[in-house]
């Protein structure tokens, strides 16, 4: 088991935190792997650090620091949703430490793109929500409708507003497209206005990708942890 043990390093989604992956820790450990699930500056247990200056680069640096201070290597980098933006930046700057990149129902940016470039329909409503709120953060999107009530209560108690600059900032890649093996997991219980179908189509047809589908809604770490673990095991086997 030790020879194939992997270190999964999480880049979590917007409004969320490492805490939202609570159900995955025992499953990852049971499979003989390790899950490192940090939380970005300004969110979760680090919500007291929220400020208008926080952007995508802040969150990329958060993960780079975890790699450096925890001395992680041979990393399977796992980006969920907004975390795909973060993971792409991290993989670009830590190519020698990241051996595999997995996008879970996530944004897959190219050089120079922001999240709003990849989700144009969300741009104006979110900017309006910021103007109506504290001037720099967006209130959380609702969780998927199939989330059990107990999990909804747990999520609503912990999700916090997200600095809009994280969605506006353009990703800068120093080395072009990531060169390590990449996989895309598309969650097929699709909400109206499916944002991630564009990446499913791209990664299904573009060279250098492995493509997987998961019968789950957008947050399988909460609603379908066992099914998610099965796919992750298949990818790293």
The residues annotated as belonging to the active site are 81
Q: End-to-end distance of the chain based on CA atoms, in angstroms?
A: 11
Question: Please, which residues have CB within 8 angstroms of residue 32's CB and are 6 or more apart in sequence?
Answer: 1, 2, 4, 5
Phi and psi torsions of 101, nearest 5°: -125, 125
For the packed helices 56-70 and 83-93, what is the interaxial angle rounded to 10 degrees?
Answer: 50
Residue 177, classed as helix, strand or coil, is coil
User: Alpha-carbon distance 224 to 144, whole Å?
Assistant: 12
């Amino acid at each position: 088991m030790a020879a194939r043990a992997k270190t999964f390093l999480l880049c979590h989604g917007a409004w969320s935190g490492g805490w939202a992956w609570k159900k995955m820790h025992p499953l990852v450990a049971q499979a003989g792997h390790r899950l490192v699930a940090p939380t970005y500056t300004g969110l979760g247990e680090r919500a007291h650090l929220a400020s208008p200056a926080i952007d995508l680069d802040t969150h990329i640096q958060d993960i780079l620091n975890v790699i450096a201070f925890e001395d992680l290597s041979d990393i399977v980098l796992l980006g969920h949703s907004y975390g795909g933006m973060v993971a792409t930046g991290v993989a670009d700057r830590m190519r020698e430490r990241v051996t595999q990149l997995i996008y879970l129902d996530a944004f897959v940016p190219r050089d120079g793109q922001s999240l709003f470039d990849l989700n144009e329909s969300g741009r104006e409503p979110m900017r309006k929500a910021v103007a109506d709120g504290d001037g720099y953060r967006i209130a959380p999107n609702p969780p998927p409708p199939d989330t059990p009530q107990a999990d909804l209560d747990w999520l609503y108690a912990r999700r916090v507003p997200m600095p809009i600059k994280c969605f506006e900032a353009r990703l800068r890649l120093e080395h072009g497209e990531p060169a390590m093996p990449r996989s895309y997991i598309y969650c097929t219980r699709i909400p109206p206005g499916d944002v991630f179908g564009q990446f499913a189509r791209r990664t299904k047809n573009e060279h250098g990708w492995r493509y997987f589908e998961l019968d789950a809604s957008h947050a399988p770490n909460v609603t379908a942890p066992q099914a998610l673990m099965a796919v992750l095991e298949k990818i790293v086997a």
